[in-house]
Protein backbone atom coordinates (compact mmCIF):
# COMPACT_ATOMS: atom_id res chain seq x y z
CA UNK A 1 0.00 0.00 0.00
CA UNK A 2 2.99 2.34 -0.37
CA UNK A 3 1.30 3.89 -3.39
CA UNK A 4 -1.59 4.87 -1.14
CA UNK A 5 0.71 7.14 0.84
CA UNK A 6 -0.20 10.74 0.04
CA UNK A 7 -3.34 9.73 -1.84
CA UNK A 8 -5.52 8.84 1.16
CA UNK A 9 -6.88 11.88 2.99
CA UNK A 10 -6.68 11.54 6.78
CA UNK A 11 -10.45 11.69 7.30
CA UNK A 12 -11.10 8.50 5.32
CA UNK A 13 -10.60 4.95 6.60
CA UNK A 14 -9.31 3.58 3.32
CA UNK A 15 -9.04 4.31 -0.38
CA UNK A 16 -12.29 2.53 -1.27
CA UNK A 17 -14.21 4.68 1.16
CA UNK A 18 -12.49 7.78 -0.21
CA UNK A 19 -13.36 6.87 -3.80
CA UNK A 20 -16.95 5.91 -2.96
CA UNK A 21 -17.45 9.21 -1.10
CA UNK A 22 -16.20 11.19 -4.09
CA UNK A 23 -18.52 9.27 -6.41
CA UNK A 24 -21.43 9.76 -4.05
CA UNK A 25 -20.81 13.53 -4.02
CA UNK A 26 -20.81 13.57 -7.83
CA UNK A 27 -24.08 11.64 -7.91
CA UNK A 28 -25.65 14.13 -5.48
CA UNK A 29 -24.67 16.92 -7.87
CA UNK A 30 -26.05 14.94 -10.80
CA UNK A 31 -29.34 14.48 -8.94
CA UNK A 32 -29.68 18.27 -8.83
CA UNK A 33 -28.84 18.34 -12.54
CA UNK A 34 -31.56 15.79 -13.28
CA UNK A 35 -34.07 18.16 -11.68
CA UNK A 36 -32.54 21.20 -13.39
CA UNK A 37 -33.01 19.71 -16.85
CA UNK A 38 -36.17 17.98 -15.60
CA UNK A 39 -37.89 21.33 -15.16
CA UNK A 40 -37.31 22.08 -18.83
CA UNK A 41 -38.53 18.64 -19.87
CA UNK A 42 -41.62 19.24 -17.74
CA UNK A 43 -42.29 22.60 -19.43
CA UNK A 44 -41.72 20.99 -22.81
CA UNK A 45 -44.06 18.05 -22.17
CA UNK A 46 -46.76 20.28 -20.73
CA UNK A 47 -46.78 22.66 -23.69
CA UNK A 48 -46.54 19.78 -26.12
CA UNK A 49 -49.68 18.13 -24.78
CA UNK A 50 -51.47 21.44 -25.27
CA UNK A 51 -50.01 22.25 -28.71
CA UNK A 52 -49.30 18.91 -30.30
CA UNK A 53 -49.66 19.97 -33.93
CA UNK A 54 -47.64 23.18 -33.55
CA UNK A 55 -44.83 21.22 -31.86
CA UNK A 56 -44.87 18.53 -34.57
CA UNK A 57 -44.72 21.21 -37.32
CA UNK A 58 -41.69 22.88 -35.77
CA UNK A 59 -39.97 19.57 -34.94
CA UNK A 60 -40.25 18.52 -38.59
CA UNK A 61 -38.27 21.64 -39.50
CA UNK A 62 -35.22 20.55 -37.50
CA UNK A 63 -32.38 18.80 -39.30
CA UNK A 64 -32.96 15.14 -38.35
CA UNK A 65 -29.88 13.97 -40.28
CA UNK A 66 -27.51 16.23 -38.31
CA UNK A 67 -29.32 15.42 -35.07
CA UNK A 68 -28.82 11.70 -35.67
CA UNK A 69 -25.13 12.16 -36.56
CA UNK A 70 -24.68 14.19 -33.37
CA UNK A 71 -26.28 11.45 -31.26
CA UNK A 72 -23.82 9.01 -32.82
CA UNK A 73 -20.91 11.37 -32.05
CA UNK A 74 -21.93 11.91 -28.43
CA UNK A 75 -22.63 8.23 -27.67
CA UNK A 76 -19.21 7.41 -29.12
CA UNK A 77 -17.60 10.07 -26.92
CA UNK A 78 -19.15 8.27 -23.95
CA UNK A 79 -17.39 5.09 -25.05
CA UNK A 80 -14.00 6.82 -25.27
CA UNK A 81 -14.66 8.45 -21.88
CA UNK A 82 -15.50 5.10 -20.25
CA UNK A 83 -12.31 3.64 -21.75
CA UNK A 84 -10.35 6.67 -20.49
CA UNK A 85 -11.53 5.98 -16.92
CA UNK A 86 -10.39 2.39 -17.29
CA UNK A 87 -7.02 3.52 -18.68
CA UNK A 88 -6.53 5.86 -15.71
CA UNK A 89 -7.40 3.15 -13.18
CA UNK A 90 -4.96 0.74 -14.80
CA UNK A 91 -2.20 3.41 -15.05
CA UNK A 92 -2.02 3.34 -18.85
CA UNK A 93 -0.86 6.93 -19.11
CA UNK A 94 -0.40 7.19 -22.88
CA UNK A 95 -3.74 5.52 -23.55
CA UNK A 96 -5.46 7.83 -21.05
CA UNK A 97 -4.12 10.93 -22.84
CA UNK A 98 -5.17 9.53 -26.22
CA UNK A 99 -8.68 8.62 -25.04
CA UNK A 100 -9.25 11.96 -23.31
CA UNK A 101 -8.10 13.72 -26.49
CA UNK A 102 -10.45 11.56 -28.57
CA UNK A 103 -13.35 12.42 -26.25
CA UNK A 104 -12.45 16.09 -26.51
CA UNK A 105 -12.33 15.93 -30.33
CA UNK A 106 -15.74 14.22 -30.41
CA UNK A 107 -17.09 16.93 -28.08
CA UNK A 108 -15.77 19.63 -30.42
CA UNK A 109 -17.33 17.79 -33.39
CA UNK A 110 -20.70 17.69 -31.61
CA UNK A 111 -20.63 21.42 -30.89
CA UNK A 112 -19.49 22.18 -34.45
CA UNK A 113 -22.42 20.22 -35.91
CA UNK A 114 -24.76 21.89 -33.42
CA UNK A 115 -23.34 25.23 -34.58
CA UNK A 116 -24.09 24.36 -38.21
CA UNK A 117 -27.69 23.56 -37.23
CA UNK A 118 -28.09 26.78 -35.27
CA UNK A 119 -26.61 28.74 -38.17
CA UNK A 120 -29.09 27.10 -40.58
CA UNK A 121 -31.92 28.09 -38.25
CA UNK A 122 -30.62 31.65 -38.13
CA UNK A 123 -30.39 31.92 -41.92
CA UNK A 124 -33.87 30.39 -42.30
CA UNK A 125 -35.42 32.90 -39.88
CA UNK A 126 -36.27 30.03 -37.54
CA UNK A 127 -35.04 31.68 -34.34
CA UNK A 128 -38.11 33.40 -32.86
CA UNK A 129 -36.12 35.67 -30.54
CA UNK A 130 -33.82 36.88 -33.31
CA UNK A 131 -36.28 37.57 -36.09
CA UNK A 132 -39.47 39.48 -36.68
CA UNK A 133 -40.38 37.12 -39.55
CA UNK A 134 -40.45 33.76 -37.77
CA UNK A 135 -40.70 31.10 -40.40
CA UNK A 136 -40.57 27.26 -40.43
CA UNK A 137 -38.21 25.50 -42.79
CA UNK A 138 -40.74 22.76 -43.63
CA UNK A 139 -44.19 23.41 -42.37
CA UNK A 140 -47.19 25.62 -42.55
CA UNK A 141 -46.27 29.26 -42.96
CA UNK A 142 -47.17 31.45 -41.25
CA UNK A 143 -46.54 28.98 -38.41
CA UNK A 144 -48.98 28.30 -35.60
CA UNK A 145 -48.04 30.58 -32.66
CA UNK A 146 -46.99 27.68 -30.42
CA UNK A 147 -44.39 26.57 -32.98
CA UNK A 148 -42.31 29.53 -31.78
CA UNK A 149 -42.67 28.12 -28.25
CA UNK A 150 -41.20 24.82 -29.41
CA UNK A 151 -38.27 26.49 -31.15
CA UNK A 152 -37.58 28.67 -28.09
CA UNK A 153 -37.55 25.57 -25.88
CA UNK A 154 -35.32 23.88 -28.45
CA UNK A 155 -32.76 26.68 -28.19
CA UNK A 156 -32.98 26.85 -24.41
CA UNK A 157 -32.55 23.10 -23.96
CA UNK A 158 -29.85 22.52 -26.59
CA UNK A 159 -28.12 25.74 -25.46
CA UNK A 160 -27.96 24.63 -21.82
CA UNK A 161 -26.85 21.19 -22.93
CA UNK A 162 -24.08 22.75 -25.05
CA UNK A 163 -23.04 24.92 -22.08
CA UNK A 164 -22.70 21.78 -19.96
CA UNK A 165 -20.54 20.25 -22.67
CA UNK A 166 -18.30 23.33 -22.83
CA UNK A 167 -17.79 23.20 -19.06
CA UNK A 168 -16.96 19.49 -19.26
CA UNK A 169 -14.58 20.07 -22.14
CA UNK A 170 -12.67 22.85 -20.35
CA UNK A 171 -12.12 20.50 -17.40
CA UNK A 172 -11.26 17.69 -19.81
CA UNK A 173 -8.63 19.82 -21.55
CA UNK A 174 -7.00 20.68 -18.21
CA UNK A 175 -7.07 17.01 -17.14
CA UNK A 176 -5.57 15.92 -20.46
CA UNK A 177 -2.57 18.17 -19.81
CA UNK A 178 -2.26 16.88 -16.24
CA UNK A 179 -2.63 13.28 -17.40
CA UNK A 180 0.50 13.65 -19.54
CA UNK A 181 2.61 13.97 -16.40
CA UNK A 182 0.91 11.04 -14.66
CA UNK A 183 -1.33 13.03 -12.37
CA UNK A 184 -4.14 10.42 -12.57
CA UNK A 185 -2.30 7.10 -12.56
CA UNK A 186 -3.85 4.16 -10.71
CA UNK A 187 -5.07 5.18 -7.28
CA UNK A 188 -5.22 8.84 -8.33
CA UNK A 189 -7.80 8.17 -11.06
CA UNK A 190 -10.79 9.55 -9.13
CA UNK A 191 -10.99 12.97 -10.89
CA UNK A 192 -11.11 11.19 -14.27
CA UNK A 193 -13.82 8.89 -12.92
CA UNK A 194 -15.88 11.88 -11.72
CA UNK A 195 -15.41 13.73 -15.02
CA UNK A 196 -16.61 10.53 -16.69
CA UNK A 197 -19.80 10.49 -14.59
CA UNK A 198 -20.47 14.11 -15.56
CA UNK A 199 -19.78 13.45 -19.24
CA UNK A 200 -22.08 10.41 -19.33
CA UNK A 201 -24.80 12.44 -17.62
CA UNK A 202 -24.56 15.12 -20.32
CA UNK A 203 -24.82 12.28 -22.85
CA UNK A 204 -28.00 11.01 -21.15
CA UNK A 205 -29.57 14.47 -21.35
CA UNK A 206 -28.97 14.37 -25.10
CA UNK A 207 -30.36 10.83 -25.34
CA UNK A 208 -33.68 12.33 -24.20
CA UNK A 209 -33.38 15.64 -26.06
CA UNK A 210 -32.93 13.81 -29.36
CA UNK A 211 -36.33 12.03 -29.51
CA UNK A 212 -38.18 14.87 -27.74
CA UNK A 213 -36.92 17.51 -30.17
CA UNK A 214 -36.23 15.68 -33.44
CA UNK A 215 -38.58 12.71 -33.54
CA UNK A 216 -42.02 14.11 -32.74
CA UNK A 217 -42.78 15.42 -36.21
CA UNK A 218 -42.76 11.82 -37.49
CA UNK A 219 -45.34 11.93 -40.23
CA UNK A 220 -44.19 15.33 -41.47
CA UNK A 221 -40.51 14.68 -42.11
CA UNK A 222 -39.80 14.68 -45.81
CA UNK A 223 -37.73 11.91 -47.38
Partner 1 sequence: MDHDPHTAVLPHAEPHAADAGHHHQASTRLYFVIWGVLMALLVLTVAVNEYDMGQWNFFVAFGIAMVKAVLIVLFFMHVKDSPGLTKVVACAGFFWLAIMLGLTFSDYVSRTWMGH
Q: How far is the CB of 157 from partner 1 (least distance, A)?
A: 14
CA–CA gap between residue 138 and residue 7 (Å, rounded): 58
Report how many helices (DSSP H) and strands (DSSP E) the chain contains, helices first: 6, 0
CB 166 within 8 A of CB 87: no
If the CB atoms of residues 90 and 119 are measured against partner 1, the closer one turns out to be 90
Q: How far is the CB of 87 from partner 1 (least distance, A)?
A: 9
Stretch that binds partner 1, among 37-45, 108-116, 129-137, 165-173 (CB under 8 A): 37-45
CA 135 to chain centre: 28
CA–CA gap between residue 93 and residue 146 (Å, rounded): 52
Among 4, 27, 115, 130, binds partner 1 (CB under 8 A): 27
Q: How far is the CB of 200 from partner 1 (least distance, A)?
A: 5
DSSP single-letter state for residue 187: G
| Neighbour count for residue 99 (Cβ, 10 Å) | 24
Site for partner 1 in 61-120 (CB under 8 A): 64, 68, 71-72, 75-76, 78-79, 81-83, 86, 89-90
Q: How far is the CB of 75 from partner 1 (least distance, A)?
A: 5
Q: How far is the CB of 34 from partner 1 (least distance, A)?
A: 4
DSSP single-letter state for residue 141: S
Q: Does 219 bind partner 1 (CB under 8 A)?
A: yes
CA–CA gap between residue 182 and residue 134 (Å, rounded): 53
CA–CA gap between residue 3 and residue 175 (Å, rounded): 21
Q: Based on C-alpha coordinates, what's the Rg of the chain?
A: 21
CA–CA gap between residue 119 and residue 117 (Å, rounded): 5
What residues line the site for partner 1 (CB under 8 A)?
13-14, 16-17, 19-20, 23-24, 27-28, 30-35, 38-39, 41-42, 45-46, 49, 64, 68, 71-72, 75-76, 78-79, 81-83, 86, 89-90, 196-197, 200-201, 203-204, 207-208, 210-211, 215-216, 218-219, 221
Amino acid sequence: MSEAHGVLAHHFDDLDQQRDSAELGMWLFLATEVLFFGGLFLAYTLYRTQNEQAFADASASLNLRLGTINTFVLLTSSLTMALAVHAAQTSQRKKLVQLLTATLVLGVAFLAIKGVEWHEDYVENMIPFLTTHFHLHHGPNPPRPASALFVNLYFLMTGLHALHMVIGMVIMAIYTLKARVGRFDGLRATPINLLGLYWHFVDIVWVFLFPFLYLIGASEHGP
